Amino acid sequence: MTNPTKENGTSGIPAQRRTAFLELMLLSRECDRRSGIVLRQGEAWFHISSAGHEALAALCELLEPDDLLFPHYRDRALMLARGMDPEAQARDLMAKEKSHSAGRNMSAHFGHRPGNVFSIASPTGSQCLPAAGAAWAARLRGSTQAVVCSIGDASTRQGEFFEALAFAVERALPVVFLVADNGYGISTPTDTMSPHALGLLPPGRTTVVDGADPDAVHTASAAALAAARAGEGPTVLWCRLDRLESHTSSDDHRVYRSAADLAALRDPIDLFAARLTAEGVLEDGRLEDIRARLAREIEDVYDRVATEPTADPRHITDHLYAPRPATTPTTAAADTGTGGDGGAGREVTVAPCGGTMVAAVNRALATGLARHRELVLFGEDIDDPKGGVFGFTKGLGPAAGPRMTNAPLAEATIVGAAVGLAAAGMRPVVELQFVDFAGPAWNQIAAQLTTLRWRTASAWQCPVVIYAPWGGYLPGGGIWHSQSNESLFTHLPGLRVVVPSTPEDTEAAFLESFTADDPTLILLPKHLMRRRQEPAARPAPAHGARTLRTGTDVTIATWGNGTELATEAADTLAADGITADVLDLRWLVPLDRAAVADSLRATGRLVVVQEDNRTSSYGAGLISELLCADDDFYSLLAPPRLVTRDDVHVPFHPDLERAVLPTAHDVVAAVRSTLA
């Protein structure tokens, strides 16, 4: 490596840029000062100061327009350097309609799409894995694009920072981790607990920098970015500096910092101004002239922005999902899909094919790889010869090449890298071996994946496809290989959730998701995956509920493994002259609510069948929603029933598993109770 661990303090910013850079630092400080005034005037609700961190913007002097920045909330100066001007920053502070988030994201949670600046999410460190994913996209494309991930020193104790660093080292990704070590995590000193203090950072990839010195930051950044662009992999720039103000406007650092400590803090502006004066670059009185001019200009900008409108609350649900254009349906079996990404936005209809769901997944992935140049497959054990623990990707390696690769045993890395790939314009399709193991990825799913479009007013999108085996009825699965926790995911606005139960539905769900501009979770029932099924009676459209049985006495709504229970129960009831309208909902988000309501109006009775446990479940929510709607409530001739697992885990022994999971007999009993 070209940058072994060292103290770095050599001059770096070119002579012709030195005064301009000082003015940038002063501009950032004045925006901070004015933000505090606006807050006290009641025109803002929260403020995070960047005072003391301004010298880090020297790195931006070296960035190319197409480089990506994943910022930290104290990166005001970096944001100015990347084109987010004071007017945009004032809108961010006051959450105006024209702000980068349309007033949705917290102030100082910067984002600037024109400058390739990714939007900040509050969970600290959650930007690291997406940054690594974006760097991976650059590597896949063979570009010289670099990625900068900015983070505070306290946040480097987050596991996702270590996962991102490991992934970047493993794949020699062009990412620079810019760590602002101001010595505190809110009020907690970090000098004995940071990864650098503990000796946990790779010495050959770590450069210690005087983060209060723009020249030192510039010099170290030049080496780190050159290494990244040359294919040498990541560098950690550990920048030591001082936080000059309280953690946020909700904090008072005088409570936990002594007067002597505060008096000893180093101000990077004063230090750099003194250097420029000594160099003869800054004349006497020039510094105060610049301060006075910027104060007038920024006051005018903030006063003007204060009069701008805030976002209309009537549009608050806009940007949760992309609008889907009306298009001509395409039958997958007849579409060779030879033209790049020409299929984007199409409604897919799969011709009857039968077979197994596993084969349908494999077929859909093969089609996706051939049709979409930007599609990337990523997951544990998915590469040949194994092709995943269920064989979904078996045999796809030769055609996929570097676009299909094994992931480390790290679900957060799988999903977080996918977020970054998607942000960089790729179409990642990732496999979680079991949905039971989504826990480590929850932060990325809930904080990044599902909020990105909404919190940026569609400036960024996240077309990630996650698929995972799901559900029980497979003896010997036990607690952590039998979960049917779909309600955890349907609770997240912005995520589409589908549970197919046939090969045709499976293939249609995948093919449609490859062209969607929003994240999709495809849950694959393990009990049904390897079962050979007869071809469907008719082509399967990608969306909406599907009718499995028709009847007039009761509506049975279900999904996944519940389809087997519901159809078996319907056949049993038919022998007694009771006919059931059985609906396979398939898509839980978006729900085909009209299909359920139409059936309920015809039958007057409702039974919902699920294998998830009862409390706060999707089935319970569906019944609650229907009961709260006047039209649906008054259609009911009897109280609705929920056939479900009780609030207990799925046990390992097959007899115990059968004791807790719903059965067709339970469905029959529920239907009869509505007719009693």
- 3-state SS, 489-519, equals HHCCCCCEEECCCCHHHHHHHHHHHHHCCCC
Q: Please, is 641 exposed, middle or buried when counting C-beta atoms within 10 Å of its C-beta (0-12, 13-18, 19+)?
A: buried
Does 481 qualify as catalytic in the annotation?
A: yes
Burial 39-73 (b: 16+ CB within 10 A, else e): beeebbeebbbbbbbbbbbbbbbbbeeebbbbbbb
Q: What is the DSSP string of 653-675?
A: SHHHHHHHS--HHHHHHHHHHHH
- Look at residues 471, 198, 509, 215 and name the one whose alpha carbon lies nearest to residue 348: 509
> Rounded to the nearest 5 degrees, what angle is found at the Cα of 214, between the Cα atoms of 158 and 208?
45
- Look at residues 617, 641, 615, 616 and name the one whose alpha carbon lies nearest to residue 627: 641
> What angle separates helix 159-170 from helix 411-423, to the nearest 10 degrees?
70
- Look at residues 238, 126, 234, 254 and name the one whose alpha carbon lies nearest to residue 182: 238
Contact 294, 26 (CB under 8 A): yes
> Rounded to the nearest 5 degrees, what angle is found at the Cα of 198, between the Cα atoms of 193 and 204?
135
- E strand spans, 137-213: 147-152, 175-181, 184-185, 188-189, 206-210
- Alpha-carbon distance of 70 to 79, in angstroms, equals 10
- Alpha-carbon distance of 623 to 119, in angstroms, equals 37
Contact 25, 239 (CB under 8 A): no
Residue type, 308: E
Q: What are the two backbone dihedrals, phi and then psi, of residue 181, each rounded to the nearest 5 degrees?
A: -95, 95
- E strand spans, 550-602: 554-558, 580-584, 587-589
Catalytic residue among 72, 218, 319, 481: 481
Question: Strand 554-558 to strand 404-406: parallel, antiparallel, or no bridges (unpaired)?
Answer: unpaired
Structure tokens at 265: 């803090």
Question: Strand 206-210 to strand 7-8: parallel, antiparallel, or no bridges (unpaired)?
Answer: parallel
Strands of the sheet containing 606-613, edge to edge, are 546-549, 580-584, 554-558, 606-613, 641-645
The catalytic residue positions are 481
